[in-house]
Every structure is written in C-alpha cells, then in structure tokens.
Amino acid sequence: MKHTLNLLAFDLGASNGRGILGRFDGERITMQELHRFENDYIPLNGILYWDSLNLFHQSKQALYAFKRAGLGDLAAFGVDTWGVDYGLLDRNGHLLGSARSYRMSVDEDMERVWKVLPFAEQFRRTGVAAQNYNTVYQLCRRQAEGDVALEQAETLLMTPDLIGYFFSGEKASEYTITTTSMLYNPAAGDWDWASIDQLGLPRKIFPRIDRAGTIRGHLRQDIAEEIGINRAAHAAVGCHDTASAVAAIPGQGNFAFCSSGTWSLFGVETDKPILTDAVRDANFTNEGTVQGGFRPLKNIMGLWLIQECRRDWAKAGSKYSWDEIVQMAQREQPLRSIIDPDYGPFFNAGHMEEKIRDYCARSGQPVPETPGQIARCIYESLALKYRWALERLEEIKGARLDTLNIVGGGIQNKLLNQMAADAIDRPVVTGPIEGAAIGNLLLQAVALGELKNLEEVRQVVRRSESVDVYEPHHTQAWEDAYGRLLESAQKV
C-alpha cells in the first residue's frame, strides 16, 4: 500500500466518548483525537437512561472536525462501546424512546428469569456469567413491566450497532457485542433461540449477526452531504470496546489481559468457550473475540469506584483532578483498609464513600476517612482482586500466566499499575492507552483488506505503540492484605 488511509473510530464509553482519527500507512498507525465529550446516564422517574441521540450528535462532531482538517477522503469508520445496553427501533426504523442504562439493574431481574430458565442451563447455553445487568435480564424486566416500547419494537440494536445504524442505516448485531447479551449460543453460532422462545421474547427483534473486520455499509448520503465528505465505509469492528482493546494488546506468549477503565475486564483468549462448573461457579464469563473465539474473563468493578467517589466529592464542592487523587493516595499508609471491589452495593450509583466506609467497619478494618485514604483503599483492593482473578484463570487454563498486559485509560494511573505488579508478583506491561480505539481502527483496515488477520493487527500495534513494564516488588504485607481481601468478603 502506497497511500495513507484515513480511518475514524467512535470510541464511546460509559463516562465519555471520543472521535479518534487513525492514519494508517500500511506499517504504522498514528492517532489524533478529533472530539471528546462527557457521557453519563440520566435518571428520570426511577429509570436510568442513556442519551442516545446526543451520543450520535457528539460523534458527528468528529466528522465535522475531520472535514475541517482537510485530509482528503475518509476510508472507513467504526463504533465501539460498552456492552449489554441496547436501543429499540419501531417498524419504521425510528428509535422507541431513550435507551435504558444497565446501572439500574438489580438481582431480582435475574431471579425472575431463573424461575423459568435456571442459571446453570443459561450458562450451559451461553457461557455468560450471572450479572444482573445482562441484556436478557434487562429485556425480561421490561417484559414483566408490560413495557410498551418492547411490545412495539421491530428491531433491537446493541449500543454500538445503534449508533452505527444512525450513521449508515444498516441494521446488524456484531458478534463480540452480541456475546455480552447472554442471548448468544456459541454451539449454534447464532442467537440462543431456545432461551428466547422459553422466555417469551419476540424473535423478530433480533437482527442478523455479522463479524468484526467486515464492511456493513456506507455513511448515509444525507449525512455525507450535510458534512461535505465522501460516503465512507461503515466497518463492523470489535463493537464491544473490550474486544477492540484486547485485539490491540501487543503481548506475546502466555499472558493475561486487563482492559482497565470503568470496569476492569480481566481474562485470557481461547478458541472455544470454557463451560466448566469451575468457570461458572467463579462467575467468569465467555465473551467474543474479534477473531471469532472467546475471552474467558472476570468483570471486576474497576475505576467506577473512584469515579463515583469523585462525583460525590465534586457535589460536596471538592473538585479533584485525577492526578490530585493519585497524589493524595500516595501519601497515605499502605494496605490499611481492603475491600472487595465486586461487593454488590458498589454496583449501584451514589454514596460510594459511605458504602466503602460501611464495608470496612463491618469487616473490622480501619475506616478510611480522607479522600486519599479512600482512593488508596480502592487502588490497592483492585490490585489484590487482580491477583484473585489471575489465580482463577491459571486454574481454568491449567498453566501459569507469565505476565499481565493492561490496556485502556486506566493505565494512566501509574500508582495502580505498580500496585498490580506488586500484588500479583508478575511483571505488568501497560499499553496502548487507547487500546479500544486502536483496535477499532485496525479492524477497519482488516475490513478494507489492508490487513489480513489479528496477528497482522498486533504487529502494527507493536510497531506503532510503546509500552511500559512494571517489575513486581512483592512483600509479606501484600500476602497479608490478600488474606484480608478473602476474609473480608466472607464477613460482609
């Protein structure tokens, strides 16, 4: 290839969204952020919503920014987002109300489904962990409520497919994002029609499934004319942001990965799902990879904990930057208070500081009082939870994992990176920071025929991105703290 391709990733997270330009010359890719915006759920009448139309509007601003840059034609664009959430379209292709946020989910949503379809059978069919926010549980909740939008729906589109539909008019469900729904059957390679029928969900709403690295359509004519650009190809990428981030991991050999952001997605890659009782009982899930395989992984409640605390502090009048929070944590006593990041009440929004203090009090530990103590407690507890997940993955694979590769925005927290190495007693490799975006961009190159497969994608990442290595400094204090993590989880 003798020319440079202009590619655009819409990388939309549960706290912010970005439009990122990738310029690919066949050997390396360079990235430039064109537009960034905040994204947050909106509470209304007891329901939490996403502003899907604003996600589209803000994403479109990146296209305007590309036009202003004067770089020629845009070859392709792709969309990745968080998992499980979706929008509903009517028979005319119009959005039926605002999309709901998974943050309103409760355990009763799962328990209602299990009366009809026990979890053990759900896991056998889908390989997905029991998480109250899974799409299947969200849909059955709306069904139980007699939700009018669900009754009128003609098509369900997962969030990245919904935003992509707004841009191209094409309706499809990309494989990696589909696997987060708990409505995909790996053995059949299709929607889990048996469960859909058993639960009384309408078959008609589930669209065709396509794969990362394929062309889905092109930018709508009216949008192209409005902005003044060509009708770029709409590429199905790893539409689940974790899938795109893992595709961009430059690691080699026997490694575990962690995509660090609002969630810490901690796992390994396999060709087939692992459906053993041990995986089910540890509540690990099997999500799809861009190459059509699977990622047995644990959803660890990641930087959501500190994000919620930061929101609480801001409401109280203390607006700390992320760097300020890390600096405060560094000054505090190490390993003073340890929490289980996956403690149920931590999932829901609001009053996170109070929840953390209550956990520490109930488990007989010193109660963190200052923002620095709260932050240090969160970071150290996350690092220790990584050790727990690593040990479970080694049991599942039956082999030692030599390194941990962390990608995503969370790697900007160097304190947490070092804590992770110290806690797991293995080297931690971090990078690239824009894991989901670079994976998104390079899967567009695959769709365009410029790259052949995942190995070529990772070769480009290794040529384009630098990584940092954190060597472990494991001490008996970390061993003792790990014991406290396990012990505290039994007490609360």
Known catalytic residues? 241
Question: ω into residue 432 within 30 of 0, thus cis?
Answer: yes
**97 φψ region: left (φ > 0), alpha (ψ -120 to 50), beta (else):** left
CA end-to-end distance (rounded Å), the chain: 59
Handedness of CA 59, 60, 63, 64 (dihedral sign): negative
Where do the H-state alpha helices sit in 213-276?
A: 221-227, 241-247
Write out the DSSP string of 89-113.
E-TTS-B-SPPBPGGG--HHHHHHH
Phi, psi of 319 (to 5 degrees): -100, 95
Q: How far apart are CA 106 and CA 131, in angstroms?
A: 9
Q: How far apart are CA 28 and CA 471, in angstroms?
A: 28
Q: How far apart are CA 124 and CA 280, in angstroms?
A: 9
Residue owning tokens 């660890």: 300
